[in-house]
Amino acid sequence: MMVQMLGVFAEFERATIIERVIAGMQKKAAKGGWNGGTRPLGYDYDPDTGALKVNDEEASLIREIFDLYTKQRMGSVAIARLLDERGERTKGGAHWSGNAIRVVLCNPVYVGKVYFRGETYPGQHPPLISMEQFENAEQLLDERGEEPAKRRSNMSDFLFSGLLICAKCDKHFVGATATGNGGVYRYYMCYSRQRYGSKVCDQDSLPAEQLESALIEHITNCLRDDAIIDASIEKAVAAKHVTTPRHKQELSRIERDLRDVSRRIDRYLQAFETGAIDPTFCGDRLSELKDRQADLESRREELAAAAESKQDPPQLADVRDIATAFADRLQDREIPRVKRILQKLVEKILVESRSTIRPFVTLSLVRIKGGWVGLAGLEPATNGL
């Protein structure tokens, strides 16, 4: 089957929205407010003040965990078992594990702090634990080698891994996690900065949750924006036309080579028939020439198909449908599925700074007999194939 590719390329720049979200979060954290994310056990979120308030029942469980660990000197796994047997559940409704206990024990929220982007700020909420007991727990964790598993979230949870590129040093961003604010905090960081420090690259790190939802929303909106899609199609079709003279040149060279190859084949066949040449040698040479002939013919077909596609550009309405279908699929709840689609759709996301993030999106279309379909690499976006 002859396929013809057309990359409908569009650069969508919507950095300001992402910037506003992130700046807002940081301002709130600096003021000691709760910046969203998972509410830590022991507190409720108070929408009136934007800060955390104590949940008495959960708070006593938190104090008990710290007491069991620092005063009773129980291990984290033993504490988990004890709570579990009593029917206690974590905030997410899961069974307690040693790691869940350790995550509680090193969360600075319990001494009245909020954590954001590697920094702790004095919070507006009351502490549940004295600083002395908290530090005592830290020391014990350290002595017992009970560091909480920082990598609760899998690398595959990072939707944009491999796609974010640092404009300052050209390296990729990598996903990373830290513990804070009652859970695992995910962020993306420039590889150079993570590996060699801010002297080598001082690129901002980006909070994963906010960046991901802002980018997905932005890409979805762009895919549903007819004006953006139409303009991208026009650009892609125009770009194809630019190559026409080169295609014509190549086509005439191929025609010439093809004539040459078939003349040689004829000559070998004649020599073979008259017995003027060693049949073994003749056979090898002949199949070489036939291969060459087949290559040239298939390239000629490709060029012909390309020429034809210029007269038959994709219909705007079809491409809008394809784009909308992609936008719909980005709303899937399954992270791996969304990630697969993003990896097909997004060429790169250039991070100049926290305030300028530029996603480059390409909709790859495939021309098959009778029309164009979107190439998702998974299944056709429309039922054309």
Q: Which residues bind Zn ion (CB under 5 A)?
A: 166, 168-169, 190, 192, 201, 203
Give 140: exposed, middle or buried? Use CB within 10 Å, 0-12, 13-18, 19+.
middle
Find residue 275's DSSP bridge partners: none
In the bound state with Zn ion, the residue whose beta carbon lies nearer, of 107 and 194, is: 194
Supply the DSSP symbol for 379: S
CB of 199 to Zn ion, least distance (A): 12
CB of 25 to Zn ion, least distance (A): 22
In the bound state with Zn ion, the residue whose beta carbon lies nearer, of 243 and 355, is: 355
H or E element in which residue 316 lies: helix 316-329
- One DSSP character per residue, 180-242 reads ETTEEEEEEEEHHHHHH-TTT--PPPEEHHHHHHHHHHHHHHHHT-HHHHHHHHHHHHHHHHH
CB of 354 to Zn ion, least distance (A): 13
In the bound state with Zn ion, the residue whose beta carbon lies nearer, of 200 and 228, is: 200
d(CA 66, CA 114): 19
In the bound state with Zn ion, the residue whose beta carbon lies nearer, of 70 and 192, is: 192
In the bound state with Zn ion, the residue whose beta carbon lies nearer, of 43 and 160, is: 160
In the bound state with Zn ion, the residue whose beta carbon lies nearer, of 29 and 166, is: 166
CB of 23 to Zn ion, least distance (A): 20
d(CA 96, CA 296): 67
Cβ proximity of 15 and 355 under 8 Å: yes
Residue type for 319, please? V
User: What sign for the dihedral angle of Cα 68, 74, 76, 77?
Assistant: negative
CB of 348 to Zn ion, least distance (A): 14
Cβ proximity of 113 and 120 under 8 Å: yes
CB of 180 to Zn ion, least distance (A): 23
